[in-house]
């Protein structure tokens, strides 16, 4: 081989090589990190930390330009979000504690929450105690108001404040020991007035023997009808009639017999106080 042929072979260069094609992955082929399943504590307590965030980036990966021959690969930045730990031990921060309530501290010292009171936990026991105290105070207040309030008797009651004439039913009963403390017989000219005016005159007193109506006199009249005129009888108040209306009188048999036949049992008559105040 001649030197000319050798020179020609030396000067021949190899054909240029094309760069290898760069494969750009499609979005749905982009590998994604597998997300951990949230723990039971995380699901029950949303505020509890449970590892890295589960947010998945939605940014499409940037396409890599074809690398030229001899170029250095550029550093890439990961698309996954960085996680910052919330643990105060790693962050180097000091955890602040919530100040305790002094009232709660005193309550815990007086009534420890882990004990039972009357077979109840502390909270139901305190509710029961508050309810009982409220009912007791309401009862005391109601009794104090009811015992100190004495309403004045209505003006329409037939009290011995005037000599007005009142009309009502007249009946008779078998007298004995009356509310005024006196023992009477059927032959005595006595009467029992309605409990309404007897109690009103007593003004809430506890001793019926001291009622101001006891011993007062009443004149009772009744029209005999058929032009026979009126008959009257004077009686003394010695008792209290529970079933009588305000203007009714319950007389002794002898007093009732002066005005009507005992067989009638009940008649209508009129009466007035003889000792009007």
pLDDT at 271: 94
Terminal CA-CA length for the chain: 172
Enumerate the domain spans of the chain.
166-273
What are the CA-CA distances from residue 21 to residues 31, 64, 240, 255 (Å)?
Answer: 21, 11, 125, 140
Task: Walk along the chain (277 residues) in steps of 10 and give the mean pLDDT of each run.
Answer: 54 67 63 68 59 51 52 53 49 57 85 85 90 94 77 68 89 92 92 93 84 93 84 93 92 93 92 79
Distance CA 250, CA 243 (A): 10
Helix (H) or strand (E) holding 221: strand 217-223
pLDDT at 105: 87
CA neighbor of 269 nearest in space, from 239, 228, 225, 237 = 225
Which pTM does this prediction carry?
A: 0.45
DSSP type of residue 198: H
The pairing of beta strand 249-251 with beta strand 230-241: unpaired
pLDDT at 136: 94
pLDDT at 34: 72
Class of domain 166-273: mainly beta
Kindly state the tokens that stand for 89.
């031990």
172 neighbors 255 (Cβ within 8 angstroms): yes
pLDDT at 150: 57
């Amino acid at each position: 081989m001649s030197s000319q042929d050798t020179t020609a072979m030396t000067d021949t260069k190899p054909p240029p090589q094309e760069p290898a094609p760069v494969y750009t992955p499609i979005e749905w082929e982009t590998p994604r990190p597998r997300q951990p399943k949230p723990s039971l504590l995380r699901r029950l307590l949303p505020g509890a930390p449970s590892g890295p965030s589960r947010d998945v980036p939605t940014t499409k990966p940037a396409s890599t330009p074809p690398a030229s021959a001899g170029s250095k690969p550029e550093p890439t930045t990961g698309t996954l979000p960085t996680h910052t730990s919330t643990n105060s031990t790693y962050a180097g921060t000091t955890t602040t504690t919530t100040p305790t309530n002094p009232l709660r501290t005193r309550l815990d010292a007086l009534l420890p929450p882990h004990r039972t009171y009357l077979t109840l936990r502390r909270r139901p026991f305190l509710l029961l105690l508050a309810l009982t105290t409220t009912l007791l105070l309401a009862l005391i207040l109601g009794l104090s108001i009811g015992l100190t309030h004495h309403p004045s008797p209505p003006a329409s009651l037939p009290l011995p404040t005037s000599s007005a004439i009142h009309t009502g039913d007249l009946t008779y009963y078998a007298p004995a020991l009356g509310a005024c403390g006196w023992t009477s017989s059927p032959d005595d000219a006595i009467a029992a007035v309605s409990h309404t005016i007897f109690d009103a005159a007593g003004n809430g007193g506890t001793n019926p023997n001291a009622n101001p109506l006891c011993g007062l006199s009443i004149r009772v009249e009744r029209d005999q009808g058929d032009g026979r005129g009126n008959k009257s009888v004077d009686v003394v108040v010695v008792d209290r009639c529970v079933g009588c209306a305000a203007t009714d009188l319950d007389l002794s048999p002898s007093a009732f017999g002066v005005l009507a036949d005992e067989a009638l049992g009940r008649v209508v008559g009129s009466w007035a106080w003889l000792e009007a105040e």
